Amino acid sequence: MPDLTSAVWRKSSRSNAGGNCVEVADNLPDVVGLRDSKDPAGPALTFTPTAWVTFVRAAKGNLIR
């Protein structure tokens, strides 16, 4: 598991007021972290930067349809 102790977590600008959100940390050079904002001490998923960009592009493409 990559070291996420230096991660700077941020919520999506589309987060709702109910707190049902994910947070992403994209400030690290070799890894992007994703976690549940309700459980910041819980587990986090990690992605390579390339995989993360591919996922975000695909998700945005599916939102347009």
> Per-residue pLDDT for 64 more than 60?
no
Q: How far apart are CA 35 and CA 18, in angstroms?
A: 16
Structural domain harbouring 42 = 10-64
The answer to the question of residue 57 being in a domain is yes
Contact 9, 23 (CB under 8 A): yes
Q: What are the distances in angstroms from CA 17 to CA 12, 20, 37, 41?
A: 12, 8, 12, 21
The answer to the question of residue 30 being in a domain is yes
* Domain count across the chain: 1
Q: pLDDT tens digit string along 7-53? A: 999 987 777 776 678 899 999 999 999 999 889 999 999 999 999 99
